[in-house]
Structure 1
């Protein structure tokens, strides 16, 4: 008899997040960006192919930056917040126009607050126990963090037990040149921080680094397809 191993709860990914991530499986993490520069960098990322962008809440005036990005980008882009540590922040993200909550941890209260607001949520997880608990709470994707510590073997091990329809998204230490092994092991995309954007950098530099990542993930995906 074939035993059907499935998820601990019905998995219904947020449709806008799922579509944006499918269009480009890269999440731009704009830690430290200011409201005055957010729109220009966001447009540069969008033109390079990015469709998911987050502003960590430990950035200057993050809700204003989220609002600026939302106003500047087309409707197929998903804008949200990162480093969301408490459920009370979720409503503020939604009021700013955000549609995505990203966290370094897997706090059930934050996940449930995001889902109650109709937002996508990508919690940070470092163990299978955290991963399955996050999915049971309604997570749309799993942020494998920190990717440098977890490594490719952990991605492969998790992929053997986590349903393939659940996106695994390593974050931390990802470059345009080291994505292929993660994808081959079962990762679906990546979150990109300082290798993509550092506070104060020129928009042209953001555009160039964005193109390098988009080219890198496309080449990596081609290389791992059967």
Structure 2
């Protein structure tokens, strides 16, 4: 909710926790709110706040293939075995496949000369076994990028309409003669169309608010439950 109703101090974005940004990313991905999605990705990407299994889980849900791939690589390369919780988090089948890749790497590593060869071999093994999954995630991610670019193009066109380049003219129709005529300002959208667009935007914002309220409420309940479980037994 603080994303929709920010408190304007020196910054409105740095007050969100990593967990809140994760919730924003999931909700905005579900509702195809690309602006909020890009914002959440920017705040989470490369921060080191996501664990290896969180990279896999959140990357799958939010269609971020580079996170999933990074999580797989990290889980294979680390020395510690996967815990029972991690097996359940990423899926038993996925965990088993990663452990199989780890065994292959242990067997082949003496034959891999440089660190670059090792990473290339690891990447090829992951792609070989998770190729279809990663391809699906990459396709979905591309759709989000394309949609975001379309929105940006539309915003640029709207800005150009509001502030036309000097020396350019717009074409309008003279309703009395049925002939085209040049004007110094772009053709304005009808008030009916504007009202419809505003109504659709307001409804979209209301949906996002409800989703964020539900998600943040769930996070609060988890925090309360976690605090209760950590309390000492009297």
Q: Quick check: TM above 0.5?
A: no
What's the TM-score once normalised by structure 2's chain length? Answer: 0.23
Larger CA Rg, structure 1 vs 2: 2
> Which has a greater percent of strand?
1
* TM-score normalized by the length of structure 1: 0.23
More helix by share: 2
